[in-house]
Chain A
Amino acid sequence: GAGVSQSPSNKVTEKGKDVELRCDPISGHTALYWYRQRLGQGLEFLIYFQGNSAPDKSGLPSDRFSAERTGESVSTLTIQRTQQEDSAVYLCASSPGTGPSFYGYTFGSGTRLTVV
């Protein structure tokens, strides 16, 4: 597609439930990133996929968080047993390569997750 597409745009879930967030990157972009943005805060790196390489999971805050990506297409971020502190906007971004040298990252509009 023309841009990075994320769904759902908003998600309200009960504490303890699992949620899946989806990201559809720009076609041809080999790199895909997930960031978390808490209210009034900056962007916190979660996980990064580059082609067929093993993902960089160094930013995942706990083992309740996991992500998958099929080839160079769609990615899903899964949060198990959600907690109230998981409430945030989850942003996905993609880029043509491993660095931002030419285009930077293109971000989606995010999924606003509210855990009640």
Chain B
Amino acid sequence: GQQLNQSPQSMFIQEGEDVSMNCTSSSIFNTWLWYKQDPGEGPVLLIALYKAGELTSNGRLTAQFGITRKDSFLNISASIPSDVGIYFCAGQGRSGNTPLVFGKGTRLSVIA
């Protein structure tokens, strides 16, 4: 089945630093999404991308849908302690009826 390769697996950064993480796939996705999961909670949607090449921002978060439709990245600028958590990329294939495929997550730790 479809798989997403997400990297890095984990990151330790200083407060105020910028963060970048990405996802790649061997197959094409029509939609890319980025979620954040806090401990003991379900993932929460951060950004959704619907068009190849699309660049979307949500506050300090910026995400891009790769031109080939096989990759996406998420940047977080000026990190703060509450950015700590696990970030997941997710993709949906050509058919709108297929469930989302998730990456394995990037665990972000922010050192104050």
B42 within 8 A of A: yes
Which of B45, B92, B104 is the one whose CB lies under 8 Å from A42?
Answer: B104
Q: Number of B residues whose C-beta is below 8 Å from A? A: 24
What separation, in Å, do the CA atoms of A10 and B96 have in the docked complex?
33
Q: Which of chain A's residues have a CB closer than 8 A to the CB of B97? A: 50, 56, 98-99
Q: A42-B105, A43-B88, A99-B31 are in contact. Are A110 and B42 (CB under 8 A)?
A: yes
Which of B6, B40, B45, B96 is the one whose CB lies under 8 Å from A104?
Answer: B45
Secondary structure of the A side of the interface?
loop
What separation, in Å, do the CA atoms of A50 and B97 have in the docked complex?
9
Tally the A-B contacts, defined by beta carbons under 8 Å.
62
A96 to chain B, nearest CB (A): 12
Q: Is the CB–CB distance between B42 and A103 below 8 Å?
A: no
Q: Which of chain B's residues have a CB closer than 8 A to the CB of A107? A: 42-44
A100 to chain B, nearest CB (A): 6
Q: Which of chain B's residues have a CB closer than 8 A to the CB of A97? A: 96
What separation, in Å, do the CA atoms of A115 and B23 have in the docked complex?
33
B33 within 8 A of A: yes
Q: Is the CB–CB distance between A4 and B42 below 8 Å?
A: yes
Q: Which residue of A lies closest to B45 (CB)?
A: A104
Which of B31, B44, B104 is the one whose CB lies under 8 Å from A101?
Answer: B31
Chain B residues at the A interface, C-beta cutoff of 8 Å: 6, 31, 33, 35, 40-45, 48, 50, 88, 90, 92, 96-97, 99-105
Chain A residues at the B interface, C-beta cutoff of 8 Å: 4, 33, 35, 41-45, 48, 50, 56, 59, 91, 93, 97-101, 103-110
